[in-house]
Amino acid sequence: MGLWTPAQLSSYCWIDFSDTTKLFDATSGGSNVTSGAGIARAEDKSGNARHFTQSTAGARPTYTSSRQNGLGAAVYDGGDWLTSSSAASAWKLLHSTTTTVFVVVKNGTTANPSAQYAWYGTDGAASGNVGVSAFYNNTQVITGATNAFNGRAVRGVSGSFVLSAVDIAANVVRTDFRNILTANTFQFYAIRMVPGDATAANRLKIAVNGGTLVGNQAEANALSTSDPTYTLQLGAAGNGNLLLTGDYSEFLVFDSQLSTTNQQLVEGYLAWKWGLQGNLPAGHPYANGAPAFASDEPGMFGGISGGMTGGFAT
């Protein structure tokens, strides 16, 4: 038996900040990073060459060893981000089709009570742009934004959202997205965005630590078919906005809604890899052991398509 990893599925992009063979000290490659060095290039493990880079030395997250479960991570100090080397068009799918995104991150703390830390984004944190963003929201400006999740898609019309965890008119975080994140603690998230779903409440769902998917949003505007305003950034919402303070461990994108089986496989992999298995609910199939596959049957999970549906209850 071998341990199961996302290599058994077909992912769109996979950035693993614990794998120093994929982290470099120069945007063109250079040497693999060592602990305390800035990450200039993080290479995509999906095989699709959707790498991320940062040419400005002072804006590079720092690779730091033994951050969680003995594994290293990218440490962001509130002035760092990585930008996709792919054109913005490569990330159009995030706001125009169904996607499943997994993130392992530790959202930091700050003396400023109005913190918003982006995990990824293409909209530049402006509703008049086109794109998406997903971030930790702990701002006093929005009612209910205490350790809240905010995911959104915007379509290039100021104030006109395709989906959002915030009731835009009332400036209130919707109930399902309040108090579901924990600051200064490693957590893993499964995020599904379906901007084109005819039922607005089904357009945005998030599961924290392998738990039940939640989300009930009411934005029902038509999605944009344009490319995003900015190419994707990790640790920022696009255009260097909503910069992350905290640790970034892993980022996975699938260009579909995963089946329940595949979603739980990824969750089990992330939980056990990062020492977060104690956070899995008792009913999760990998609460008591990491997912595995028969190593003499390499096609066992390779034949399970990342495009299978039914993975998220609504």
Please report, for the chain, the start and end positions of each structural domain, with discontinuous segments joined by +. 2-302
- Residue 307: CB partners within 8 Å, gap ≥ 6? 255, 256, 257
Average pLDDT, the chain: 91
Does pLDDT of 240 surpass 60?
Answer: yes
Provide the pLDDT for residue 311: 35
Q: Output the CA angle 16-194-160, nearest 5 degrees.
A: 110
% of the chain residues with pLDDT over 70 = 92
Fold of 2-302: Jelly Rolls (2.60.120)
Contact 267, 286 (CB under 8 A): yes
Rg (C-alpha) for the chain, rounded Å, is: 18
For 140, phi and psi rounded to 5 degrees?
Answer: -75, -15
Provide the pLDDT for residue 293: 82
What's the rounded Cα separation, in Å, for the pair 209 and 26? Answer: 34
Provide the pLDDT for residue 111: 61
Contact 54, 39 (CB under 8 A): yes
Q: Which amino acid is residue 144, in one-letter code?
A: G
Other CB atoms closer than 10 Å to residue 282's CB: what's the count? 6
Does the global pTM surpass 0.75? yes
Q: Which amino acid is residue 12, in one-letter code?
A: Y
Provide the pLDDT for residue 112: 63
Provide the pLDDT for residue 159: 87
Listed range (67-76, 235-244, 299-308) with the worst mean pLDDT: 299-308
